[in-house]
Chains A and B, each alone.
Chain A
C-alpha cells in the first residue's frame, strides 16, 4: 500500500501522476521556485501549472489561468518565438515540450467562449495609444480591472504589426479581429484613423484635457529602415514592412520572376515566403551574417527552407541592376566582418568577391524604427526609443507609461504583451494612489539545475503541428493545423512540471501494484508491501461441530 513520498527527493516530474493506474497522486504546482520555462517566458506564463491542468483534463481552467499572464494565447500560440521551449528541461531527455502548440489549443478554445463585459469599477478614463500587442494587452488588463479604456490607433484597423505586417498565413485576420471583438465586448473603445501626438489628430495634452488621467504609449516601431544604394528607386524595389503591409491589404503587390530578399532576420523570412506565395519563381535571401549566425529564429529558417527559399549568407547589397527603370538583378559584396573593434555594427566588405543574382524584385528587410517625434515634447525619447523605468514602465512624465517596440526597440509580440500588462498594473496602482513598484521587482528563484527532473524519464516523441502545403487558391490561408485534442493531451503529458511536488491524495485507492515506486526516477516513493486486508473469506467459516 502506498505509504509516503519524500518531498526532498521529489523533483515534481509527475511520473507518478501519469502512471498510477488508480490515479492516487496529485501534484502541487504552486511552488516558490519556478520552472526554467516560466523563467524564460517574457510574460512569465505559469506554464508548469497550465500543463499540469491539461494533464488533468482541465483545459478550460488552464486557458483561464493563461489569461492572468497573457490575454492572447490565440495569437502567441501562433507567432510567439517561444523562448520557453529553448529552456525546457525535457530537451535533455528527448525534445522540448511543444509549449507553443499547446498554447494555441488553449487560445483556440477560448475563442469559443463568449466574452462577457467587464464590470466597471472606476470612473477614471485611460487612453492607450497604439493597438499593437502592447496596447491591446494594456487595454485588456485595465478593462478587466474595471477602467474605461479608449485605444487610439492611427491605422484603419486595430492590431499593429499583428494586423499589418505579420503574414496572414501565420496569423489570419479573423484571429486578430476576434480578439479585438473580445476587447470590445469587455468594454474597450477603439478610436481608429486617429494619429496621436503633436501636430496630429489629437495631442496628449488634448487627451488629458478630455479627462484621460493616464496614458499608455505603444506606438511600436513600424517604419522600415532604408538604405541608399544605386538603383533603390527602380520599379521592383520594395521595403520590407511596406511590402508585407501591402500584402495584408486587398491590393497585394504583383510578384513574378525571381526575387531577392535582403536581410537575414524573421521579417526577411516572412518577406521571402510571402513573395513565394505571391508567385515568385525563385526566392533568394541574402544576409550579412554567416549561415549559423543568421538572426532569424531556427524554426523560421526551417520554414523558409521548407518553402524552397535559397540562402546566400555573408553578402551585402552593392547596387541594384536595372533595365528601363525596372529591377533586373542585384550585385552583392562578400561581407568580411560585421562589427568593428568596439563591437559596433560596422560591416566590412571584400569588393572583389561579388555575387550577382538576376531578379525582377528586390525586397529590403533590414530593420525597422519608431516614429516618435509626436511624443518627444511629452516624454523623454533617446536613441529612437521612449525611455521607461524598468519595473513600472513609467516614462519621464507622470501619468504616462510606455511599452512595446517603441520602448524596447524591435522585439516580440510576447514582450509587448508583457509590457502592456505591466503598464496596466502601474496605471492601476498609480490611479489608486498605491506604491507603483511594490514587490514587483522581486524575481522568484528558478529550480536549481541539479533539482530538475530529466534522468530516468521515459522517451516520448514530441507532437508537431502539421504544416500544410500552400494552397494556390488561397496562398495566405493559415499554414499549420493546430494539434488535435489527443495530441494536445499527449504533449502536455510530456511536461515534467519541474519543481512541483507530488502528494498522495487518494491513499485508499492504492492496489499495491508498485508501479509508482518502480517508475519514480527520484526514488522518492515508498510502497509498503502489505496490501489491503479485505475482503476476507475463510475467517467467516465456522468450525463444524462434530
Chain B
C-alpha cells in the first residue's frame, strides 16, 4: 500500500550522515541543544565508513610545532594548502585524540610507554597513531562515538535518504527525503542543518559504496560553492579481493613490482620509491604497463617478520578476510598478488568557513563533505578531519541555533522538491545502477582516471551530457531501494560533471592532479582553487587565489618535484 502522509520530524539541529563526522558533530551540538537528530541513509548507528576503517589517526601531539606540520602539508599539497583550516584541524586534533583515549580507546604504545606511530608518505612530521588489534580501530571508535551520542540523548534515525535541504530563500528551515526501504516521504523541520554526508564517489569495487555523491547534490542544489573537484582519489587495490593497510605496509618495506620483479617506483622517485602518495604510484603503474611491464603486483617479501606480524589483520572484517583468503590458498604477505588502481571518490567538497558554516545561512558542513585536500592521501588523516571539523561544526551549528528563532518550514515546497524524485518510484525503466556504472566507466578510462588529458576529459564530459539527456530521464525505480540508487545515479552524473569540468579547467599538474598534456606546475596561473556553484540553475565556475601572503608558510619546495615521468605528450 502507498503511504501518503510521510513521516514528520522536528529538531533543533539536523545532522545528515551518521559517520564519524556526523557523530562528532551531533554529540558536541547536544552539549548545547535540547534536541539533535542524526539521520543516515544506511543503518541506524552504523558509523559510516569510519566503522569499517582502521581508525588510524594523524594527530599533532603537544610537543610538535604547528608550523612544522603545516610546512609538510604545503610541500605535500604543492602549495595548494588551505593553511587556515589545516592549522585548525591540526591544532584541535590532540583534544579529539584525548577524547578517544579518555573514553578508554588506547592507541598503541611501546614498552617504554611511548606512542607508536607510522610516518605518512615520507613526510617528516605527518604520522598516524594506531590501535591494536589491527582491524578493530574503526569498529571501536564507531562504538564509542555511538555510545557518547546515546549517552547525551542524540536522536538517531537510519534508512533515511535526504534529497534536499529546504530554505526560505535565505536560511535553512529543514530537509526532505524518503525512507530508503519504503519510499515514504520524510520531512524534517530544523533550525539548522549540518551536512556530514561525505562527498562520495563512484562506488568502487569494495567499500566506500555508501557515500555515493548524494551530499554533492544536496549542497549543490542548496547553493553551496564546491571546491577541489579536479582532484579524485585513485586507490591501488588488489584485483580480486579487498585489502586495506597499504599506508602502513609501504613504509614498512612493502613495494609494487612490475612483471620483471622491479621495484619500479625507485626509477620514478629514487628518494621515495613506493612510499609516496598512492597517486604517484598509480602514474608509475601506467608507465610500466605502457612499457609492456604489466601486470603490477604487491610484494611484502622485504618486510621484517615482526612487521608482518603487526600488520597481519587479526580481527574485524580485515581479519576475517585474511582468514578466508588463506583458506583459499591466498596468503597476502607470502604471495605476489596482482593490483590495480581504481577511482574511488572525489576530493572535492563544500566550501565552508573555519567553523563549518557554508554560504547558506544555518547550513553547516563537516568531515569529508568539505574535504580540504587537493588529491593526495595520508593514512589517518580522515579520522583527524572528521573528529575536528565534526566537533567544531557541531558546536558552531549549536550556537547558531541558540542565536536564531525557528523559521517556518514550507512543507509544500519540500514535497514539490521531493516529487521530482518520487515520480520515478514504481516506474520501470533504465536501471539506476547502469547509470552509476556508466559514470564509473567514464572515470576509469586511463586518460581520465590516472593520467588526465584534455581529450580524455572532453570525451568524458560528452558522455556525461549524453547520459544526462538520453538515459537519466528514462531511469526507473521499481521499489524504494532502487529509488535510493536512482538518487545516487543522478548525483553521480552531477559529480562526474563537476569533476571533469574542474579537471579540464586546471591546465597544469599539481598534487593529485596530473595532466599528461600539462605535466608542469604553473604557479603563475594556478596557485588557485577552482570553485563551482549553481546560480539561477546554471553552473558558475570561478577561481580563488590561495592567499599565500596571509599564511605562515610560503611554498618553497614541492612534493611533485621528487618524481620524474617519461614525457608522453607526443606519444600515441
Contacts and interface: CB of A to CB of B under 8 A. Distances in A.
Tell me, yes or no, whether A binds B: yes
B157 A489 contact: yes
B441 A506 contact: no
A517 to B, nearest CB: 7
A489 B44 CA distance: 10
Contacts of B555: none
B43 A20 contact: yes
Interface string B325-359: 10010000000000011110000000000000000
20 contacts: A21-B42, A21-B210, A23-B180, A57-B183, A60-B3, A61-B3, A486-B9, A489-B44, A512-B207, A515-B52, A518-B317, A529-B321, A533-B240, A534-B205, A535-B205, A540-B444, A541-B286, A541-B290, A542-B572, A543-B291
Interface string B88-105: 000000000000000000
A536 B433 CA distance: 17
A535 B440 contact: yes
Contact of B341 (A484, A511, A537): A537
Interface string A482-518: 0011110110010000000000001011011111011
Contacts of A537: 234, 340-343, 444, 446, 449-450
B217 to A, nearest CB: 19
B38 to A, nearest CB: 10
A89 B453 CA distance: 61
A486 B156 contact: yes
A531 B44 CA distance: 25
Contact of B206 (A57, A484, A531, A538): A531
B340 A485 contact: no
A390 to B, nearest CB: 35
B181 A56 contact: yes
B7 interface: yes
Contacts of A538: 285-286, 289, 294-296, 340-341, 446
B317 A531 contact: no
Interface string B429-458: 000010001001101111001100000000
B43 A514 contact: no
A380 interface: no
Contacts of B37: 486
B364 to A, nearest CB: 21
A18 interface: yes
B481 interface: yes
Given A58-B184, A486-B156, A513-B207, A540 B445 contact: yes
B157 A19 contact: no
A223 interface: no
Contact of B320 (A57, A64, A517, A532): A517
Contacts of A518: 316-317, 320
- Which 10 A-B residue pairs are closest in the complex by CB-CB distance? A57-B179, A57-B182, A514-B317, A511-B209, A535-B444, A531-B206, A529-B324, A56-B181, A532-B205, A60-B3
A487 B154 CA distance: 11
B64 interface: no
A530 B205 CA distance: 10
Contact of A535 (B204, B289, B433): B204
B534 interface: no
B403 interface: no
A531 B291 contact: no
A476 B485 CA distance: 50
Most A CB atoms within 10 A — which of B207, B325, B328?
A: B207
A117 to B, nearest CB: 19
B43 A511 contact: no
Contact of A485 (B8, B291, B320, B321): B8
Interface of A: 18-23, 56-61, 64, 112, 461, 484-487, 489-490, 493, 506, 508-509, 511-515, 517-518, 527-544
Nearest to B292: A543
A515 B8 CA distance: 31
Nearest to A59: B3
B242 A512 contact: yes
Interface residues of B, number: 75
Contacts of A60: 1, 3-5, 184
A531 to B, nearest CB: 4
Nearest to B43: A19
A513 B317 contact: yes
A532 B286 contact: no
B558 interface: no
Contact of A536 (B181, B182, B444): B444
Given A22-B209, A538-B285, A538-B296, A58 B182 contact: yes
B206 to A, nearest CB: 4
Contacts of A535: 202, 204-205, 342-343, 437, 440-441, 443-444
Contacts of B234: 537
A508 B433 contact: yes
B369 to A, nearest CB: 17
Contacts of B179: 57
Contacts of A543: 289-292, 294
A514 B139 CA distance: 12
A321 B548 CA distance: 94
Given A57-B183, A515-B46, 12 more contacts: A20-B43, A22-B210, A57-B181, A57-B480, A489-B44, A508-B433, A511-B209, A535-B202, A537-B340, A537-B449, A543-B290, A543-B294
Contacts of B285: 538
B385 to A, nearest CB: 21
Given A59-B184, A544-B572, A534 B320 contact: no
Interface string B27-68: 000000000010000111010000010000000000000000
Contacts of B317: 513-515, 518
A461 B449 CA distance: 47
Contacts of B240: 530-531, 533
Most A CB atoms within 10 A — which of B8, B180, B340?
A: B340
B141 to A, nearest CB: 15
Contacts of A511: 203, 206-210
Contacts of B328: 529
B565 interface: no
Interface in B121-157: 150, 155-157
Nearest to A485: B7
A348 to B, nearest CB: 52
Nearest to B181: A56
Most B CB atoms within 10 A — which of A485, A506, A529?
A: A529
B316 A536 contact: no
B571 interface: yes
B1 A531 contact: no
